[in-house]
Amino acid sequence: MVTTSRKTHGCPAPSPEPEVSATTGEVPPAPAGEKELTTLRDVYDALVGRTKMRAEIIDGRLIVSPLGTPEHQVMIGKLVLALGARASERGWVIVPGLSICMDGSRDPYEPDFALYPPDAPRWGAREVYASGLIMVAETVSASSTHDDREHKPGIYATARIPIYLLIDPIAEPAQVTVFSEPKDGRYTISTSVDLGKEIHLPDPVDFLLDTAVFL
């Protein structure tokens, strides 16, 4: 923000607004009577309910991003349809854009797709603990490339989520990858196919997914 000492009609220029660092979580002192925001989680909680944007804490960064494009949303919708019957058979719940949090740290995430049993443990009314999930999926967009490809596998493996499905329509060539068997903060197995081919989702889902639905 640029400020100036120039005056208009004899009134002083307005003081610059205090800046908040989304990387460090440092904030100016809270006004009297308001809770001081001392952590990134505090900043996140202050945003919840005030914005329709997606917010996550990834690698010590508070990431606030707009909802995906219509094409992005269509892909997730097709995944919901593809797995709907399997989820119904097992009594599982499918939610696009579910608010989840890491056990312990409560770092929040919002995967594009989540599959979980109805009795999965929660933090309050809004967030499901990541360790209670069966599967998550992300669709890569230009703004999420590094986080979805590089950071999310480690995050979801650390949370012990059995399956992470990565739909990557902007890769060359476009691909779908299944990460499974989480151990010691990493997935020990990953399988990739070109978009349009079939790929197996291992136990506990045990489903042959035809990725041609994403074309």
Nearest to 208 by CA among 40, 78, 83: 83
Predicted pLDDT of residue 49: 66
Residue 84 reports pLDDT greater than 90: yes
Is this structure's pTM higher than 0.95?
no
Residue 97 reports pLDDT greater than 50: yes
Nearest to 152 by CA among 193, 186, 202: 186
Residue 19 three-state SS: coil
Calculate mean pLDDT across residues 60-77: 87
Predicted pLDDT of residue 29: 56
Contacts of 215 (CB under 8 A, 6+ apart): 195, 196
Matching residue, tokens 């493996």: 157
Residue 27 reports pLDDT greater than 70: no
Predicted pLDDT of residue 94: 98
- Give percent of the chain with pLDDT exceeding 90: 62
Q: How many CB atoms lie within 10 A of CB 111?
A: 28
Predicted pLDDT of residue 35: 73
